[in-house]
Amino acid sequence: MLEVFVFSTLNGLVTGLLLFMLASGLTLIFSMMGVLNFAHASFYMLGAYFAYSISLKLGFWTGLFVAPLLVGTFGALVERYALRRVHAHGHVAELVFTFGLAFLIEEAVQFFWGADTKNYQSPDLLNFPLFTLFGQEFSAYRGFMITISVGIFLALYYVLTRSRIGIIIQAAITHPHTVANLGHNVPLIFMAVFGVGTALAGVAGVIAGPVLTTFPGMAVVLGSIVFVIVVIGGLGSLGGAFVASLMIGLLQSYAIASNLGMPDLLNLLGLEFSRDHPLNDLWTLTLPQIAPVLPFLLLVLVLIFRPTGLAGKREE
Amino acid sequence: MGKFAAWVGYLIVLLGLPQLFDSVLAITILNQMAIAIVFALSYNMLLGQGGMLSFGHAVYFGLGGFMAVHALIMIEFETVYFSITLIPLVGGLIGLVAAIFVGSFSTHKAGTVFAMISLGIGELVAASSLIFVSFFGGEAGVSADRTFGPPFFGIEFFQDVEIYYLSAGWVFVATVFMYLFTQTPAGRMANAVRDNPERAEFIGYSARRVRFISFCTSGFFAGVAGGLFALNYEFITEENLNAVTSGRVLLMAYIGGLGYFIGPIIGAVVLTLMNSLLSNYTELWMLYLGIMFVLTVLFLPRGFAGFIMIHQTAWLRGKLSSLFLPYLITGMPAIMFGGSILAAIEMLHHDGEPFGFLFITLDSGNTLHWLALTAVAAASYYACWRSLGQLNAAWEEANGVGDPTERGPG
């Protein structure tokens, strides 16, 4: 029991931190432009595919640095030449545009790389067990993922709250006109933040590709979960997104590892239903079965009872 | 009288199409169009008229469809006894019930909150449909046979064309009712709440209740579309209520043109045609669909219907014909440029093997072909770019821009 708990905690941490890397960029972009970027997970997928192609020629480590740069540049171009244009038509148009972009990127990935799963491998350097606990190995690569994610969180936190650039960005989010009057190029700041946000998604893709497999559906798998996190954490709150990422990561990991379900609950209540009961599917439900749905259940509940999320500000 | 004539024309087109196109493929496509038109119109009621962006509209379509298939099964086993012509109504009622339930908590805010709830509900229902196998049939879905019901004036609906006429009837009735809805106070208030909920509340309307009414009506018509789907295909799977279907209806309504009643009809027709015809010619039609969608959002924010409507001023001034030649001069190289881009994409796709493109055969292994393609693309791009000036001038002339004797329509 303890070993299941420890390992699902570790796995939940890895997933949660990975999700945070996506959620942090999405949160930054949301607080800046006031729109949720539906294509965010697509940039994550592009990161994985770029890194895969680069790793074939130049190895994993080059990919780790070059792929996020490429993704970030692409993201900045999208902001400059497309989003800014659509912005004039309002938030719905922006949301619909990012939705279309996500669709287009998925098709483009299938066009350039094919529909099959790519054999994107973690580097040999990290192919050893970091430690062995209860007879199970914890791979060094997962440790590496945790390190990178925590590093990015700390760096982001430091830059945003302690550096001059961070202060300008924060001011540009809340008071764009004042910042522009002080002589800063606000559109350029927006473009840069969009680029950095998508580059962060790219990093997540590079390091998640070998573990979560690199295939054209990888954006869809994570896309809506990241949305859930950003909403649960409170739109625009980086700290809230961090807590929500870990929460969702752990929740899913525990739900998958547990073997509890409705039968146990019914036993506890002393109830029993025959197998041909019309709601038999409900009475035999188990937690691992509903694990993928849990985040969405949480999303709907949060939106109904606390639409501002965990750390969101009260709406005016 | 103009409106009445338009409706009669609509009915004649709906009923006349299978006379013009009577092949098996054409009837299949027409049936798909009928379903898509009702579905897209119901979506426009939410987004176009009510300002509620939904990412889970397929839920009401799918639930209606599933219940309709179960109703067909019940007719088959004689648990219930009614004509299958009423099946879309069953779908509609289920869509309505589901919308009343979801709308009771999701409509108090529009915007991002509503969009996110719709996304969450969509994912929840899609995932539950795979868990509750006895009702949804798991991955395989559920199927039925529509021919067991009591005959409708001697018609037993063995053939697709008979289903088409039934669908056409339902499409017409549904379109009329959805149009009439936009004319009711509830429909007018939906527009007001979309544009400025605060003001609407000040005149004494509850924005939430107005949204709720639109939402439920929209859910009803989505369910009707689901019922039509069930009648036409006689089976339904999880795919019909998941995010893919929700995304497709958003695409249709947006490409057609939000805010215009006729927009979603155009979108439904165009996308169904692309879906069924283009997929015969190329494996990449989904990629083209994505490109078209993104370009539409970028350059035609009001969709195809919006593009048609911006010519109203020129038409009223009697100068529409003066735009024909300038459009041709810019349009020809633009089409050439688009075609050469398509050819390049197809050449990359057919790596190394020759294939037929329109009237010519292209081979990506042939350097000459690449050079010719680049030359055509560059020349047509230049010609298109050079011709923009005359198009702009003609446009301003036709619309009376810069003419001091003219007064714009306000």
pLDDT at A228: 86
Q: Which residues of B touch A289 (CB under 8 A)?
A: 131
Q: What is the pTM of this model?
A: 0.87
pLDDT at B402: 63
Quick check: B121 contacting A, CB < 8 Å? yes
> In terms of residues, how long is chain A?
316
* Three-state DSSP state, B156: coil
A303 vs B287: CB contact, 8 Å cut-off? no
- What tokens were used for B116? 């996110």
Confidence of residue B409 (pLDDT cuts 50, 70, 90): very low
Q: Which residues of B touch A82 (CB under 8 A)?
A: 294, 298
Classify residue B332 by its DSSP letter: H
Taking the C-alpha atoms of residue A12 and residue A18, their distance in angstroms, rounded to an integer, is 10
* Cα–Cα nearest to B343, from B362, B329, B325, B326: B362
| Segment B168-188 mean pLDDT | 92
Residue in A104, A220, A231 closest to B290 by CB: A104
* Three-state DSSP state, B344: helix
B124 vs A91: CB contact, 8 Å cut-off? no
Confidence of residue B1 (pLDDT cuts 50, 70, 90): low
Classify residue B124 by its DSSP letter: H
Quick check: B113 contacting A, CB < 8 Å? yes
Taking the C-alpha atoms of residue A19 and residue A41, their distance in angstroms, rounded to an integer, is 10
Q: Is the pLDDT of residue B157 over 60?
A: yes
Do A46 and A74 meet the contact criterion of CB atoms below 8 Å apart? yes
Q: Which of the four CATH numbers 1.10.287, 3.30.1340, 1.10.3470, 2.50.20 does domain A2-305 have?
A: 1.10.3470
* Cα–Cα nearest to B40, from B261, B354, B367: B261
0.90 surpassed by complex ipTM: no
- Cα angle B141, B144, B147 (rounded to 5 degrees) comes to 160
A92 vs B287: CB contact, 8 Å cut-off? no
pLDDT at B229: 93
* Cα separations in angstroms, B97 against A33, B101, B105: 37, 6, 14
What residues form DSSP beta bridges with A286?
A: A261
What residues form DSSP beta bridges with B236?
A: B142
> Strands, E, within B237-394: which ranges?
355-357, 360-362
Mutate to test the interface with A, among B55, B112, B274, B296 (most CBs of A within 10 A): B112
| Segment B247-271 mean pLDDT | 90
Taking the C-alpha atoms of residue B374 and residue B391, their distance in angstroms, rounded to an integer, is 25
A281 vs B131: CB contact, 8 Å cut-off? yes
pLDDT at B391: 84
User: CA-based diameter of chain A, in Å?
Assistant: 74
Half-sphere exposure of B24 (CA within 13 A, CB side): 1
Q: How far is CA A130 from the centre of its chain?
A: 25
A100 vs B345: CB contact, 8 Å cut-off? no
- What tokens were used for B373? 């393609």
In chain B, the residue whose alpha carbon lies closest to the alpha carbon of A302 is B117
Residue in B119, B135, B250 closest to A96 by CB: B250
Do B231 and B84 meet the contact criterion of CB atoms below 8 Å apart? yes
A107 vs B286: CB contact, 8 Å cut-off? yes
Say if residue B319 is exposed, middle or buried (CB neighbours under 10 Å; 0-12, 13-18, 19+).
middle
- What tokens were used for A134? 């209860």
Q: Is the pLDDT of residue B58 over 90?
A: yes
Interface of B with A in 78-97 (CB under 8 A): none
Q: Which residues of B touch A236 (CB under 8 A)?
A: none
Quick check: A103 contacting B, CB < 8 Å? yes
**pLDDT digits 0-9 by tens, B327-380:** 888 888 888 888 888 888 888 887 767 777 777 777 777 788 888 888 988 998
Question: What distance in Å separates residue A147's CA from the closest CA in chain B?
Answer: 31
Taking the C-alpha atoms of residue B365 and residue A282, their distance in angstroms, rounded to an integer, is 58
Taking the C-alpha atoms of residue B233 and residue B240, their distance in angstroms, rounded to an integer, is 12
**pLDDT digits 0-9 by tens, A186-203:** 889 889 889 999 999 999
* Cα–Cα nearest to B33, from B276, B314, B200, B202: B276
Say if residue B3 is exposed, middle or buried (CB neighbours under 10 Å; 0-12, 13-18, 19+).
exposed
In chain A, the residue whose alpha carbon lies closest to the alpha carbon of B296 is A97
Taking the C-alpha atoms of residue B36 and residue B30, their distance in angstroms, rounded to an integer, is 10
Classify residue B77 by its DSSP letter: T
| Segment B393-405 mean pLDDT | 74
Taking the C-alpha atoms of residue A255 and residue B81, their distance in angstroms, rounded to an integer, is 45
Which helix (H) or strand (E) segment is B235 a member of?
A: strand B235-236
pLDDT at A186: 87
Do B258 and A96 meet the contact criterion of CB atoms below 8 Å apart? no
Say if residue A135 is exposed, middle or buried (CB neighbours under 10 Å; 0-12, 13-18, 19+).
exposed
Quick check: B128 contacting A, CB < 8 Å? yes
Give me the residues of chain A with pLDDT under 50, please. Answer: 316
pLDDT at A276: 67
Question: What distance in Å separates residue A307's CA from the closest CA in chain B?
Answer: 7
B294 vs A85: CB contact, 8 Å cut-off? no
Top pLDDT among B217 and A123 is at: B217
Interface of A with B in 169-198 (CB under 8 A): none
Alpha helices (H) in B285-323, listed in sequence order: 285-299, 303-309, 312-316
| Segment B34-38 mean pLDDT | 94
Question: What distance in Å separates residue B291's CA from the closest CA in chain A?
Answer: 6
Quick check: B284 contacting A, CB < 8 Å? yes
Quick check: A56 contacting B, CB < 8 Å? no
Which helix (H) or strand (E) segment is B142 a member of?
A: strand B142-143
* Cα separations in angstroms, B370 against B288, B340, B357: 21, 10, 14
In chain A, the residue whose alpha carbon lies closest to the alpha carbon of B136 is A281
Output the 3-class SS for chain A.
CHHHHHHHHHHHHHHHHHHHHHHHHHHHHHHHHCCCCCCHHHHHHHHHHHHHHHHHHHCHHHHHHHHHHHHHHHHHHHHHHHHHHHHCCCHHHHHHHHHHHHHHHHHHHHHHHCCCCECCCCCHHHCCEEEEECCEEEEHHHHHHHHHHHHHHHHHHHHHHHCHHHHHHHHHHHCHHHHHHCCCCHHHHHHHHHHHHHHHHHHHHHHHHHHHCECCCHHHHHHHHHHHHHHHHCCCCHHHHHHHHHHHHHHHHHHHHCCCEHHHHHHHHCCCCCCCCCCHHHHCCEHHHHCCCHHHHHHHHHHHHCCCCCCCCCCC
Taking the C-alpha atoms of residue A316 and residue B198, their distance in angstroms, rounded to an integer, is 12
A92 vs B47: CB contact, 8 Å cut-off? yes
pLDDT at B79: 78
Do B284 and B345 meet the contact criterion of CB atoms below 8 Å apart? yes
pLDDT at B133: 79
pLDDT at B410: 38
Do A230 and A36 meet the contact criterion of CB atoms below 8 Å apart? yes
**pLDDT digits 0-9 by tens, B123-145:** 889 888 888 877 888 778 888 87
Question: What distance in Å separates residue A50's CA from the closest CA in chain B?
Answer: 18
Q: What is the dihedral of CA A165, A168, A170, A171, to 10 degrees?
A: 170
pLDDT at B408: 45
Residue in A103, A227, A307 closest to B247 by CB: A103
**pLDDT digits 0-9 by tens, B67-93:** 999 998 888 887 777 777 888 999 999
What residues form DSSP beta bridges with A81?
A: none
C-beta neighbour count of A197 within 10 angstroms: 26
pLDDT at B319: 79
B127 vs A95: CB contact, 8 Å cut-off? no
A95 vs B247: CB contact, 8 Å cut-off? no
pLDDT at B345: 84
Q: Which residues of B touch A83 (CB under 8 A)?
A: none
B113 vs A92: CB contact, 8 Å cut-off? no
* Cα separations in angstroms, B404 against B319, B401, B407, B408: 17, 8, 8, 10
Please state whether beta strands A129-133 and A136-139 pair in parallel, antiparallel, or not at all (unpaired). Answer: antiparallel
For chains A and B, CB pairs below 8 A equal 110
> In terms of residues, how long is chain B?
410
Residue in A36, A96, A224 closest to B112 by CB: A36
Mutate to test the interface with B, among A26, A104, A110 (most CBs of B within 10 A): A104
Q: Who contacts B356 (Cβ-Cβ below 8 Å, separation ≥6)?
A: B362
